[in-house]
């Protein structure tokens, strides 16, 4: 198998939802189809370029998976599964190649503001971020504004994603954006708001850069953000 064939196989295995090698019995004997895990191992044994595998196989597979979701061919569980497999493949590349740093599309902090404890949407977005190739830091649910600001100051992310769904948290989100300005962090981070408030409020009123009303808008934005940055090495 040449390198292009292996990368095509990685791409196809992700789209088919096959992470582990699949074997079956035929009249002529046992046959096996390698999954993503085995194909990544083969690529590393051949000393193939990790950035090349990431861009030509994993990024392309994730782009196609997102397109299939938008077209209706995939449902949410289908998409989340493909994102999970793509993320696991990226981790394998990093681990097996013995890299001391990860290749990614930028650093993304994800949290819901204090008083918000809706996990489902956050879990979906977190999985998509990792599948697309972002270095993702998950702060969790109901995080106080000062803790989010502290994490932004320490980690210097490219993006900060906040989830807000209740009107009572609007002042907390506005206060968070104000704290980011006061600490000198605001100009260096792109703020993204998801949740019900993204449907009812404008970005300007909350001091954020983008409001994602639904999963399709979130996907479109994440793709745009990923395509706006080149691969960089982050320690």
Render pLDDT for 51-89 as a digit per residue (tens, 0 to 9): 889 888 999 999 999 999 989 999 999 999 999 999 999
Claim to verify: residue 173 and residue 60 sit in the same structural domain: no
Is residue 234 a part of any domain in this protein?
Answer: no
- E strand or H helix at 15, and its extent? helix 3-15
Do 121 and 161 fall into the same domain? yes
Q: What is the pLDDT of residue 232?
A: 40
Predicted local distance difference test score (pLDDT) of residue 7: 93
Predicted confidence at residue 106, as pLDDT, reads: 87
Report yes or no on 233 lying in a domain.
Answer: no
156: domain CATH number? 3.40.50.280
- Tell me what pLDDT residue 205 has: 92
Same-domain status, 63 and 132: no
Per residue, what are the HEC states of 170-226? HHHHHHHHHHHHHCCCHHHCEEEEECCHHHHCCHHHHCCCEECCCHHHHHHHHHHHH
Q: What is the pTM of this model?
A: 0.84
pLDDT digits (tens, 9 = 90+) for 107-117: 999 999 998 88
Indicate if 117 and 94 belong to the same structural domain. Answer: no
Does the pLDDT value for residue 137 go beyond 80? yes
Confidence band (pLDDT; 50, 70, 90) for 98? low
Range of the domain at 195: 103-227
Query: CB-side exposure of 14: number of CA atoms within 13 Å?
Result: 33
Domain finish residue from 54, 72, 99 = 99
The two beta strands, 190-194 and 210-211, are: parallel
Does 111 share its domain with 212?
yes
Distance CA 78, CA 65 (A): 9
| Boundary residue ending a domain (75, 99, 123) | 99
Of 78, 99, 120, the residue that ends a domain is: 99
pLDDT at 101: 43
Claim to verify: residue 110 and residue 87 sit in the same structural domain: no
> Mean pLDDT over residues 33-61, rounded?
90
Residues 51 and 103 sit within 8 Å (Cβ to Cβ): yes
Round to whole Å and give the CA distance between 187 and 24: 56
Q: Are residues 121 and 94 in the same domain?
A: no
* Range of weakest confidence among 6-15, 49-58, 143-152: 49-58
Verify that 118 and 166 share a domain, yes or no. yes
Number of domains composing the chain:
2
Are 91 and 183 members of one domain?
A: no
Same-domain pairing of 55 and 154: no
Could you tell me what percent of the chain has a pLDDT over 70? 93
Does residue 36 fall inside a structural domain? yes
């Amino acid at each position: 198998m040449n390198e292009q064939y292996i990368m095509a196989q990685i791409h196809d295995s992700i789209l088919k939802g096959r992470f582990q090698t699949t074997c079956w019995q035929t009249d002529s004997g046992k046959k096996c189809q390698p999954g993503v895990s085995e194909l990544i191992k083969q690529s590393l044994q051949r000393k193939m370029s990790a950035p090349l595998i990431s861009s030509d196989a994993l990024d392309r597979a994730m782009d196609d998976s997102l397109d299939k979701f938008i077209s209706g061919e995939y449902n949410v569980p289908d998409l989340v599964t493909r994102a999970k497999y793509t993320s696991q493949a990226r981790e394998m590349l990093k681990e097996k190649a013995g890299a001391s740093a990860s290749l990614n599309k930028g650093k993304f902090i994800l949290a819901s503001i204090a008083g918000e404890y809706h996990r489902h949407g956050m879990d979906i977005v977190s999985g998509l971020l990792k599948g697309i190739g972002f270095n993702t830091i998950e702060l969790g649910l109901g995080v106080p504004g000062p803790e989010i600001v502290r994490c932004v100051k320490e980690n210097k992310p490219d993006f900060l994603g906040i989830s807000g769904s209740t009107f009572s948290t609007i002042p907390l989100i506005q206060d968070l954006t104000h704290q980011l300005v006061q600490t000198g962090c605001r100009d260096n981070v792109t703020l993204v708001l998801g949740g019900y408030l993204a449907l009812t409020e404008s970005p300007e009123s909350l001091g954020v850069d983008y409001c994602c009303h639904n999963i399709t808008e979130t996907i479109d934005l994440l793709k745009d953000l990923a395509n706006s940055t080149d691969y960089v090495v982050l320690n």
